[in-house]
Amino acid sequence: MCVDGQMVGTQSIGFREPVSIISGASIVGKKEGEGPLGDKFDLIGEDPMFGTDSWEEAESTLQKETVGLAIAKAKLKNWQIRMIYAGDLLAQSVASSFGIAEFGIPVYGLYGACSTMGEALSLGSMAVAGGYGDYVLAVTSSHFGSAEKEFRFPLAYGNQRPLSATWTVTGSGACVLGQQGGRAKITGLTTGKIIDYGLKDSLNMGACMAPAACDTIYQNFMDFNRMPEDYDKIVTGDLGKVGQQILWDLLAEKGYDISKQHMDCGMEIYDAETQDTHSGGSGCGCAATVFVSYILPRIEAGEWKRVLFVPTGALLSKVSFNEGQSVPGIAHAVVVECAGEGGE
Amino acid sequence: MCVDGQMVGTQSIGFREPVSIISGASIVGKKEGEGPLGDKFDLIGEDPMFGTDSWEEAESTLQKETVGLAIAKAKLKNWQIRMIYAGDLLAQSVASSFGIAEFGIPVYGLYGACSTMGEALSLGSMAVAGGYGDYVLAVTSSHFGSAEKEFRFPLAYGNQRPLSATWTVTGSGACVLGQQGGRAKITGLTTGKIIDYGLKDSLNMGACMAPAACDTIYQNFMDFNRMPEDYDKIVTGDLGKVGQQILWDLLAEKGYDISKQHMDCGMEIYDAETQDTHSGGSGCGCAATVFVSYILPRIEAGEWKRVLFVPTGALLSKVSFNEGQSVPGIAHAVVVECAGEGGE
């Protein structure tokens, strides 16, 4: 590690004692289960309502089940989790509020749009490294039905979507963080700024978020004095095809080529050709489920030694959109490393 | 302090090195300026639109001006603030996203309904105590016009309100936290759980939040082994008259009488008799502005040696309300103490 203190550069944090990712759990919907990562998720829900009567309750149930599974996979009891850091895309974060209430665990509610898993892992790892909890949990969720209702149109309206649009992932991902255990370690963070290029197209969120991803990734390189090749993978959340190209172009202008290392969760979770998902997947659940099911196991296996995980969020509401406001972006970066050949 | 580690009891945190509240700033609307605390706020906006074209932009402007003022009062430059912890009541927290973007400071977006200032001070003080930033900023805002539009009816509809209803405060409060400076210190935290008694009346939010306030205050007493008289004041956010009585009753059932120490920000900010505000003030801006303008100066003056500040939040959205869901509550407690006679 490059740190001699916990503050690194102007915008980053390095942990003297890296924080362990002890377990990860992911539950997704049917469409995600039919995608290229289908065999990697813990559970696939065949019923989009998850046994409930509304999209919002469905998402709450999805998040609740995922949290329970992550705690069980960490071989812990609910009371051992000191705090939950949770968020979703719905107004007033109701999927989280109703999803995790019954665990009886202290909760900090977060909102960072689709960057929320980056925010949850950041704040959760700061808490563990600071000695504020032996175990904390980070979770986010999204649901295609609840997100369409929240941001766009009722599903029954059957609106068409341009090719730049993304498809909100029905899924929830959760990680238990702790002071030891597991081979995947969070070693550093770069907290994102709100970056606004003035773009206003809510059906091209990749373009809205790419400048924020660029800003955070560039700052991570500066703060830790690293180059793209110092990472095995640089994983953004849900830029999609359109956003990916913009990110590459923006970083190229600053002299960095990340095309070899870059991967986008939104481009991994669906087969755009056969699943009609246009630019890719999106939503709080996209980065979270792909991280837990696909990225984390490869780090734990030592296949990837150091990964920069950068969930990306588009900061809009239907009110701000209807009032003609722009869609600023934000991206929070988490450095995850394999603890070494020998494991723990 | 009672701590030998940073975790205290089952749900609290104690800081070995207390975190300084270096500055506080508050800006409110005209109605708040006409209330009993009118001469204590830093600025009073005569124009409810704050020079903008929408309630949401008005609230963003209010929050932006308050953040700038808090930084100026701390005699710092924007770049010296390592992180902002910000939240508001609007869907997808857009008042914060648009309000603070231009500062160019890394941001963590929070959602805890009206408990958000407790959450922001908690996470911000954890960051300072953990060595993750020399200075961080906590801010929340609410606006009567944007909140009515978000949760209830357009103002022009002129709906009537029951006496249990609260009046959303137009205001923003911000604090700069740091490792030293100032006489007011955050010495401990108790993170709240989501508490749901199944109440469903969004026009009686005091009743919905009182059980959460009870749970957090009781747990604070347990974790730190304190009695009500160990605090000069126990200050809830916006329970109002109705919620206050419920809180007193619930704590009395557990054997605690806090009636001598208790104060509610929502009951302080308006004169209910002459200002027609029914049960009291509410909103993210209520606890934040009353804390900054009224509570903090008394701690700094040494008049109150130890205060338990417990902002309370009602977790609902208009969707969850319309779907017949209950209104769970959450409350986060922050222990603020005067550093002593000699100051720094």
Task: Report, as an integer, the average pLDDT of B144-168.
Answer: 89
Task: Report, as an integer, the average pLDDT of A315-342.
Answer: 91
Task: Report, as an integer, the average pLDDT of B3-24.
Answer: 88
Render pLDDT for B172-199 as a digit per residue (tens, 0 to 9).
Answer: 999 999 999 999 999 999 999 999 999 9
| Stronger pLDDT, B45 or A160, i.e. the higher one | B45
A322, two tokens: 């209807």
Which residues of chain B lie closer than 8 angstroms to A98, CB-CB?
A: 315, 320, 325, 328
How much is the pLDDT for A60?
A: 97
**CB-based burial label for B41 (10 Å; 0-12, 13-18, 19+):** buried
CB A262 within 8 A of CB A231: no
3-state helix, strand, coil in chain B (%, to 5): 40, 25, 35
| Minimum-distance CB partner of A131 among B5, B79, B132 | B5
Whether A36 has a pLDDT exceeding 70, the answer reads yes
Task: Report, as an integer, the average pLDDT of A101-112.
Answer: 97
Render pLDDT for B301-325 as a digit per residue (tens, 0 to 9).
Answer: 999 999 999 999 999 999 999 999 9
Going by C-alpha positions, the residue among A234, A288, A250, A265 that lies closest to residue A88 is: A288
A-B CB pairs within 8 A amount to 181
ipTM: 0.96
How much is the pLDDT for A344?
A: 41
User: How far, in Å, CA of A273 to CA of A150, rounded?
Assistant: 27
Task: Report, as an integer, the average pLDDT of B142-146.
Answer: 96
Beta carbons of B318 and A91 less than 8 Å apart: yes
B154 at A interface, C-beta within 8 A? no
Using 50, 70 and 90 to split pLDDT, how confident is the model at A5? low
A163 at B interface, C-beta within 8 A? no
Beta carbons of B92 and A97 less than 8 Å apart: no
Beta carbons of B56 and A7 less than 8 Å apart: no
CATH superfamily of A18-178: Stage V sporulation protein AD (3.40.47.40)
User: How far, in Å, CA of A242 to CA of B128, rounded?
Assistant: 39
Beta carbons of A320 and B104 less than 8 Å apart: no
How much is the pLDDT for B341?
A: 54
Distances (CA, A) of A184 to A180, A285, A344: 10, 20, 10
| Average pLDDT value for chain B | 95
A126 at B interface, C-beta within 8 A? yes
Q: Choose the mutation target among A12, A56, A111, A114 for the interface with B, i.e. most B CBs under 10 Å.
A: A111
Nearest-CA distance B318 → chain A (Å): 8
Render pLDDT for B261-297 as a digit per residue (tens, 0 to 9).
Answer: 999 999 999 998 899 999 999 999 999 999 999 999 9
Residue type, B109: G
As annotated, the residues of chain B forming the CATH 3.40.47.40 domain(s) are 7-178, 184-338
A88 at B interface, C-beta within 8 A? no
Beta carbons of B131 and A7 less than 8 Å apart: yes
Task: Report, as an integer, the average pLDDT of A150-167.
Answer: 87
CB B323 within 8 A of CB B201: no
What residues contact A112, with CB distance under 8 A and at least 6 apart? A87, A118, A119, A311, A313, A330, A332, B108, B109
User: What is residue A194's three-state secondary structure?
Assistant: coil
Beta carbons of B10 and A79 less than 8 Å apart: yes
A48, two tokens: 């989009």
How much is the pLDDT for B4?
A: 39
Q: Which residue has the tokens 């929408």?
A: B54
Using 50, 70 and 90 to split pLDDT, how confident is the model at B342? very low
B98 at A interface, C-beta within 8 A? yes
Using 50, 70 and 90 to split pLDDT, how confident is the model at A37? very high
How much is the pLDDT for B202?
A: 86
A57, two tokens: 């309750």
What is the enclosing helix (H) or strand (E) of B118?
helix B116-129
Which residues of chain A lie closer than 8 angstroms to B196, CB-CB?
A: 101
| Minimum-distance CB partner of A323 among B56, B122, B134 | B56
What residues contact A135, with CB distance under 8 A and at least 6 apart? A22, A74, A76, A80, A81, A82, A128, A176, A177, A178
How much is the pLDDT for B309?
A: 98
Residue type, A140: T
Q: Which of A182-191, A197-206, A228-237, A324-333 has the lowest mean pLDDT?
A: A197-206
Residue of A nearest to B131 (CA): A6
How much is the pLDDT for B60?
A: 98
Q: Which residue has the tokens 């690293």?
A: A226
Whether B3 has a pLDDT exceeding 80, the answer reads no
For the four alpha carbons of B261, B262, B266 and B272, in that order, the dihedral sign comes to negative
How much is the pLDDT for B157?
A: 84
Task: Report, as an integer, the average pLDDT of A250-270.
Answer: 98
Task: Report, as an integer, the average pLDDT of B51-69.
Answer: 97
Residue of A nearest to B191 (CA): A106
Task: Report, as an integer, the average pLDDT of A137-148.
Answer: 96
CATH class given for the domain over A184-337: alpha beta
Q: Choose the mutation target among B82, B194, B325, B327 for the interface with A, i.e. most A CBs under 10 Å.
A: B194
Distances (CA, A) of B61 to A116, B27, B98, B101, B186: 24, 10, 8, 11, 28
Q: Choose the mutation target among A85, A194, A222, A332 for the interface with B, i.e. most B CBs under 10 Å.
A: A194
pTM for the full predicted model = 0.97
User: How far, in Å, CA of B20 to CA of B18, rounded?
Assistant: 7
Whether B133 has a pLDDT exceeding 50, the answer reads yes
| Minimum-distance CB partner of A129 among B130, B134, B191 | B130
Render pLDDT for B87-102 as a digit per residue (tens, 0 to 9).
Answer: 999 999 999 999 999 9
Which residues of chain A lie closer than 8 angstroms to B6, CB-CB?
A: 130-132
Whether A51 has a pLDDT exceeding 50, the answer reads yes
Task: Report, as an integer, the average pLDDT of B251-270.
Answer: 98
As annotated, the residues of chain A forming the CATH 3.40.47.40 domain(s) are 18-178, 184-337
What residues contact B278, with CB distance under 8 A and at least 6 apart? B161, B162, B163, B164, B165, B166, B167, B240, B272
Task: Report, as an integer, the average pLDDT of B107-115.
Answer: 98
How much is the pLDDT for A18?
A: 95
Q: Choose the mutation target among A97, A119, A128, A137 for the interface with B, i.e. most B CBs under 10 Å.
A: A97
Strand B262-264 to A171-178 pairing: unpaired
How much is the pLDDT for B2?
A: 32
A331 at B interface, C-beta within 8 A? no
How much is the pLDDT for A342?
A: 46
B135 at A interface, C-beta within 8 A? no
A143, two tokens: 């649901």
Right CATH for B184-338 from 3.30.420.40, 3.40.50.12780, 3.40.47.40, 3.40.50.720: 3.40.47.40
Whether A49 has a pLDDT exceeding 50, the answer reads yes
Q: What is the CATH number of domain B7-178?
A: 3.40.47.40
How much is the pLDDT for B5?
A: 55
Whether B340 has a pLDDT exceeding 80, the answer reads no
Whether B114 has a pLDDT exceeding 70, the answer reads yes
Strand B329-331 to B233-236 pairing: unpaired
